[in-house]
Amino acid sequence: MKIKLPPAIIFLLTGLLMYLLATFLPVGYFDFFGRRLLMKVLASLGVVIAFIAIFQFLKARTTADPINPSKANKLVTGGLYSFSRNPMYLAMLLILLAWGLALGNAFNTLLAAGFVSVMNRFQIKREEVALLEKFGKDYAQYCIKVRRWF
């Protein structure tokens, strides 16, 4: 089974579900000293990682199209991609965690974990198959050296 939704749509739907959960679930509210600061740090880190990751693809003159990963003409393995094979998805996760902190409902962490699960199962594994077919041994070695998320 393949989800044909772009990762950005999955990200936005997860954020919407987080909002609905925080609005309509009467339990789970939390607050702690530094929550707002942590929220700002996670959101900022997510935005910076996303911009750098996209810039690296643009600089390499290859596609960042998550729906058609086989269109990639170069394997980007430097910079952020030497720490994470999926920094764009990591950036989305950080922003979702920041959003969950802003909403203040502890159950939103379950939705953020669900985002990771959906991305792993329906998006990342499909991308990995396409990139392995396209780049072969180079991509296989890259997968051994660099973790999927962080």
Kindly give the confidence (pLDDT) of every residue in the chain, 150 residues in length, as a single tens digit, with 9 standing for 90 and above. Answer: 455 789 999 999 999 999 999 999 989 999 999 999 999 999 999 999 999 999 999 999 999 999 888 899 999 999 999 999 999 999 999 999 999 999 999 999 999 999 999 999 999 999 999 999 999 999 999 999 999 999
Distance CA 17, CA 85 (A): 26
CB proximity list for 51: less than 8 A, separation 6 or greater: none
What pLDDT is stored for residue 2 in this prediction? 57
Handedness of CA 83, 85, 91, 94 (dihedral sign): negative
Handedness of CA 88, 64, 74, 143 (dihedral sign): positive
What pLDDT is stored for residue 42 in this prediction? 98
DSSP 67: S
Distance CA 80, CA 88 (A): 10
pTM > 0.85? yes
What pLDDT is stored for residue 103 in this prediction? 97
CB proximity list for 46: less than 8 A, separation 6 or greater: 90, 91, 92, 93, 94, 95, 98
What pLDDT is stored for residue 26 in this prediction? 82
Q: In whole angstroms, what separates CA 150 from the centre of its chain?
A: 11
